[in-house]
């Protein structure tokens, strides 16, 4: 029973990189890094060696080879060498009769890993390959253990032939399979989220192009009037002033559109949501007009600040406003209403529409990956938005009825200036 407990404990330690990946990268729009692999693998290796399996003191077995192979596959040769150095230093510190043979086994196992870790990336039979790698690590360890300690090996034959191969093969298969699946899912999520953003921006761009024609037409008309009567300086000055205003308005809208469509960064700073909403009104109004929807934005006269990434908050607002407008596209006198206020130390943003609405089942699934109320949607726009809001400590609540409309209440932690 004690050996079973030790086996389960070793499997738990080998899963540390997988568990920490799903915790740390859950709300991030990027995948793992070499530093993350090194840190999590180092923690896993240290704990596995500290609470290793052993029949007698001084001769210990753990999942070190699995962890070093994992570090090589996902972190590269530098990560693998650092993990090997950590093992050597810590194993010498632990000491015991098995220290020398443990160092020999690890050098050989690491050399084998160096030869085979690239094969893992190219093979289509990854499950079989990881199981065979676990068996290979066990075979190397058992052969050398028998060579150095034949009597000890024979006396504890079942432990060496059953427990050690099981913990290496099972540990290798579970860690590599689960981590590979998580990394693949994260890559798919990032790709779809980026595609969703591109699709949203293309829709907004189409409406902007339509809207930009209006001031350009006005500018063209006034320039023609100036050309026809250049001697009338009073009217020329008046016409030039109108032209400049139209050009500046167009330039401001296009600048904000480009700011929204640029790649996201990791910076966090004070964001004035009230000012941002005014910008969003200018950017999204053409999109609302294109769908015959009235867009009404109410903001307080004072600043309403939150601590966040401004690019992410812009994208969140675009996602919510775009969805609300599209929900009203087939409704007579469609209307989207946004209001911002500060209540009990919180910044509260309400987004209401009189669109098609949702039922209870749809509301419960909002924010879930790949769920969308639109036939052509992926749902990743709202999934991303929910992640951004939750990451900065905010919350989202929704109230909706079919054929009546939807109300989103987004609460952000308010920041004093």
Please report, for the domain that includes residue 340, its CATH number: 3.30.565.10
| Residues spanned by the domain of 281 | 267-417
Name, in order, each residue with C-beta under 8 angstroms of 227's C-beta and a sequence gap of 6 or more: none
Domain boundary among 146, 166, 193: 193
Asked, for residue 359, whether it belongs to a domain, the answer is yes
**What is the full per-residue pLDDT of the chain (417 aa) written as tens digits?**
567 787 888 889 999 999 999 888 876 767 888 999 999 999 999 999 898 877 777 788 888 999 999 999 999 999 999 999 999 999 999 888 888 998 999 889 999 999 888 888 888 888 889 989 989 999 998 999 888 888 888 888 888 888 888 889 999 999 999 998 888 888 877 776 666 666 666 666 665 665 566 667 667 777 877 887 788 888 788 778 877 877 776 776 666 555 555 555 566 788 999 998 988 888 788 788 878 899 999 999 889 999 988 878 888 888 899 889 988 988 888 999 999 999 888 999 999 999 988 888 777 766 544 434 454 444 556 777 887 888 888 998 889 888 889 999 999 998 876
Same domain, 45 and 181: yes
- The percent of the chain in helix, strand and coil, each rounded to the nearest 5, is 65, 10, 20
pLDDT score at 78: 93
User: 417 and 312, same structural domain?
Assistant: yes
Tell me if 349 is assigned to some domain: yes
Q: What confidence score (pLDDT) does residue 381 get?
A: 67
Residue 12 domain-assigned (yes or no): yes
Which residue, 174, 193, 212, sits at the end of a domain?
193
Residue 48 lies in a domain: yes
Tokens at residue 152, please?
């000890």
Residue 202: predicted pLDDT: 65
Which residues neighbour 400 within 8 Å (Cβ) at sequence distance 6 or greater? 357, 358, 359, 362, 363, 406, 407
**Is residue 120 within 8 Å of 134, Cβ to Cβ?**
no
C-alpha triplet 359, 360, 361: angle, nearest 5°: 95
User: In Å, how far are 381, 383, 406 from 362, measured between CA atoms?
Assistant: 15, 14, 12
Residue 308 phi, psi dihedral angles, 5° rounding: -165, 180
In whole angstroms, what is the distance from residue 125 CA to residue 135 CA? 16
Angle in degrees, CA 229, 231, 236, rounded to 5 = 70
Report the distance separating Cα 216 and Cα 209, nearest Å.
11
Inter-CA distances, 156 with 1, 9, 22, 144, 298, Å: 15, 20, 38, 15, 77
| Residue 411 in domain | yes
The answer to the question of residue 243 being in a domain is no
Domain check: are 274 and 404 in the same one?
Answer: yes
**Residue 170 and residue 287 share a domain:** no
DSSP state of 82: H
**The dihedral sign for the CA sequence 47, 20, 181, 110:** negative
Query: How far from chain centre, in Å, is Cα 92?
Result: 40
Are both 277 and 397 inside the same structural domain?
yes
Q: Which residue has the tokens 């054929």?
A: 403
Give a yes or no: residue 220 inside a domain.
no
The domain boundary, picked from 141, 165, 193, lies at 193
Write phi, then psi, for 22 (nearest 5 degrees): -70, -25
Kindly list the distances between the CA atom of residue 218 and the CA atoms of 212, 228, 244, 247, 250, in Å, as whole numbers in the listed order. Answer: 10, 15, 11, 10, 12
On whether residue 178 sits in a domain, the answer given is yes
The answer to whether residues 276 and 187 belong to one domain is no
- 341 DSSP β-pair partners: 348
**How do 293-298 and 269-272 pair as beta strands?**
unpaired
What is the tally of structural domains in the chain? 2
Task: Enter the tokens of residue 120.
Answer: 């893992």
């Amino acid at each position: 029973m004690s050996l079973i407990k030790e086996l389960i404990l070793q499997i738990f330690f080998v899963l540390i990189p997988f568990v920490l990946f799903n915790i740390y990268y859950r709300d991030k729009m990027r995948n793992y890094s070499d530093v993350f692999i090194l840190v999590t693998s180092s923690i896993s290796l240290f704990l596995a060696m500290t609470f290793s399996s052993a029949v007698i003191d001084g001769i210990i077995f753990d999942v070190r080879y699995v962890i070093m192979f994992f570090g090589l596959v996902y972190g590269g040769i530098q990560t693998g060498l650092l993990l090997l150095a950590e093992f050597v230093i810590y194993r010498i510190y632990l000491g015991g009769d098995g220290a020398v043979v443990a160092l020999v086994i690890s050098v050989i196992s690491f050399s084998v890993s160096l030869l085979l870790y690239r094969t893992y990336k190219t093979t289509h039979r990854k499950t079989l390959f990881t199981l065979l790698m676990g068996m290979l690590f066990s075979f190397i360890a058992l052969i050398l253990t028998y060579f150095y300690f034949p009597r000890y090996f024979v006396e504890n034959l079942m432990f060496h032939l059953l427990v050690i191969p099981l913990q290496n093969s099972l540990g290798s298969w579970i860690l590599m399979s689960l981590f590979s699946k998580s990394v693949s899912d994260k890559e798919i999520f990032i790709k779809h989220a980026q595609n969703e953003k591109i699709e949203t921006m293309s829709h907004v761009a189409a409406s902007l192009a339509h809207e930009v024609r209006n001031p350009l037409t006005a500018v063209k008309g006034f320039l023609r009037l100036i050309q026809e009567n250049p001697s009338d300086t009073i009217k020329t000055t008046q016409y030039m002033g109108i032209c400049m205003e139209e050009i500046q308005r167009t330039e401001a809208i296009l600048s904000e559109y480009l700011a929204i469509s640029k790649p996201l960064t990791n910076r966090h700073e004070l964001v004035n949501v009230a000012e941002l909403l005014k910008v969003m009104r200018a950017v999204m109004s053409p999109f609302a007009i294109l769908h015959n929807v009235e867009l009404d934005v109410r903001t307080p006269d004072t600043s309403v600040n939150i601590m966040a990434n401004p690019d992410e908050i812009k994208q969140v607002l675009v996602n919510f406003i775009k969805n609300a407008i599209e929900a009203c596209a087939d409704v007579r006198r469609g209307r989207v209403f946004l209001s911002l206020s500060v209540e009990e130390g919180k910044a509260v943003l309400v987004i209401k529409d009189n669109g098609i609405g949702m039922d209870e089942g749809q509301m419960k699934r909002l924010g879930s990956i790949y769920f969308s109320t639109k036939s052509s949607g992926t749902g990743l726009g709202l999934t991303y938005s929910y992640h951004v809001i939750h990451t900065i400590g905010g919350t989202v609540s929704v109230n909706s009825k079919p054929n009546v409309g939807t109300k989103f209440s987004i609460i952000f932690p308010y920041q004093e200036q």
